[in-house]
Amino acid sequence: MIKKIKTFVIVIILLVGSVSFTDNYFEIAKNLDIFTTVYRELNNFYVDETDPGKLMKTAIDKMLKSLDPYTNYIPESEIEDFKFMTTGQYGGIGAVITKRDDFVYINEPYKGSPAQKAGLMAGDKILRIDGVDAKGKTTEEVSKVLKGQPNTDVKLLIERPYVTESFEVSFKRKKISVKSVPYYSYLSDNIGYIKLRSFTRDCSKDVRNALVDLKEKGDLKGLILDLRNNPGGLLNESVDIVNLFVEKGEEVVSTRGKIESWSKIYKASKAPLDLEIPIAVLINQSSASASEIVAGSIQDLDRGIVIGKRSYGKGLVQQTKKLSYNSQLKLTVAKYYIPSGRCIQALDYSNRNKDGSVGKIPDSLMTAFKTKNGRTVFDGGGIQPDIETKEEEVSNLIISLVRERLFFDYATLYRYQNSNLRNDSNFRFSDDDFVFFEEFLSDKSYDYKTETEKAFEALKKKSEKESYFNLIEQEYTLLYNEFELNKKNDLVRNKDVIQEILSQEISGRYFYQEGEIRAALTFDNDVKKAIDYLSDSDLYDEILTSID
């Protein structure tokens, strides 16, 4: 009990800082005493048994939640997951898992992992782990069992679709390293492409190695750096990546915090790898933190163009502090500012609304800044791309097929029926394949309502309420039946999207993450737009030199 209270006191001290602690000593001491008293009374007299550790975790989490979403208490039980986020490494079998009904399934084994080498495939159902029934277990519970020290044994009982009997697979856990750069290649017209998944330790070296390899293999005339869906990570890695393309000594990002030691300027500290090659950075609404530092710095320094959708808007810096009993505190210590001087933080957590919610900074209150060439850019809401691409609408049919896992299940069937993939390096789901997919869906349930259908229902309810429906019932019925007849053609109307999704899903069954990315590039409008600009120097230069 006392040890738990001491942990809580340490958290409080770290949050308020040494200066504030001195100035507000009485207020802190008073509230700690109150908290300790409440904690003791609960433990002694509450009607049911309490879990001291759970109570303390709840108290800490609630306290930190009032600050911002990125300040978190990490107990010892979650340290390994936290390390994985920063290093991309863990001990385990090397597979993504997912829950379906009462069981956990293999969603994707990593290429070269123990799971893949042992023959596990996407779609495999885990029945038992080391003799223990896996039915009813959550993905978190199964994940904890599958992870472990390298070279320790694990035995799984697997049920595979279209295979009559279940079977056992035994192998050793290994140190799993998830690649920060899962794919890079030449696309067309000597344009190179590098996909960066996250900013884990040494990811800048992986980007450098990919860039050097592209240069050695061909005449690189333009580079696409894909940061879409990249949540960020280590700040120093983002600085080193920008450093590949800008002069030594160039300011990349600065941080400003309450404590002077947290206010720093980060400059390119090494000789660049390339100062001339045209660059297009791809971002979207899920590009955050370190991704925004790279995209924003490239934009502010006019070193390249940014294409896609407005980024997430996370301009807060976290630092990890070690606590007692192998726990840690990840807390926000500063805001970061890219070279133009702007901070792209979208939400102001220090000024909440009366209901506790946090609003985005309105466009009218955003401040204008200038890039190196004098272009106007704005703060307060993520990185606005130089070339903004449209958000593609997803039909309710597609949402329903994804929700029911029918794309996944068809890819499982396809893999079972085809030991090899035609056109290995450039597979595309064909029109003939589409016919088989329609047959596959013929006995499957994937109910969905279109917006038109919802409008029909609303019209009927309102007209009945106002006693008009009997006047329009005949016309309504004729129109609704016509709509239902046309709804049956929704699969054909969504054929292009279905072909895109299944090209990726099926390619992934044979070539894992690399295959999925390679297949997706064939349909990628952001990539096509980037190629257009990188292949036309006039278009590219016009973006970087246009001054408002």
**Active-site residue set:** 289, 300, 314
**What is the Cα–Cα distance from 146 to 130, expressed in whole angstroms?**
10
Q: Which residues partner with 126 through β-bridges?
A: 104, 158
Question: For 310, phi and psi rounded to 5 degrees?
Answer: -55, 135
Q: Is the dihedral of CA 307, 309, 315, 316 positive or negative?
A: negative
How many CA atoms within 13 Å lie on the side-chain side of 281? 31
Residue 203 corresponds to which tokens in the numbers above?
């990811």
Between the CA of residue 472 and those of 428, 464, 476, 478, 480, what are the distances in Å? 48, 10, 6, 10, 12
Length of the chain: 548
Kindly write down the DSSP assignment for every residue of 493-527, as one continuous string.
Answer: HTHHHHHHHHHHHHHHHHHHHHHHHHHHHTT-HHH
**CA angle, residues 325, 335, 376, in degrees to nearest 5:** 155
Q: Which residue has the tokens 């759970």?
A: 54
**What is the Cα–Cα distance from 50 to 47, expressed in whole angstroms?**
9
Kindly write down the DSSP assignment for every residue of 380-442, as one continuous string.
Answer: SSSPPPSEEPPPPP--HHHHHHHHTTHHHHHHHHHHHH-SS-SSGGG----HHHHHHHHHHHT
**What is the Cα–Cα distance from 209 to 196, expressed in whole angstroms?**
12
Interacting residues of 237 by C-beta distance below 8 A, sequence separation 6+: 199, 200, 201, 202, 203, 204, 290
Strand (E) or helix (H) holding 242: helix 235-243
Residue 369 corresponds to which tokens in the numbers above?
């800044």
Q: In what order do the strands lie in the sheet with 222-226?
A: 183-186, 191-195, 222-226, 279-283, 305-308, 387-388
Q: Is the dihedral of CA 433, 408, 118, 159 positive or negative?
A: negative
Q: Which residue has the tokens 């299944």?
A: 502
Closest C-alpha among 422, 374, 389 to residue 519: 422
* Sheet strands (E) in 93-142: 95-100, 103-109, 125-129, 132-133
263, amino acid identity: S
**What is the Cα–Cα distance from 85 to 73, expressed in whole angstroms?**
15
**What is the Cα–Cα distance from 212 to 199, expressed in whole angstroms?**
19
**What is the Cα–Cα distance from 539 to 536, expressed in whole angstroms?**
5
C-beta separation of 190 from 219 below 8 A: yes
**What is the Cα–Cα distance from 184 to 142, expressed in whole angstroms?**
32
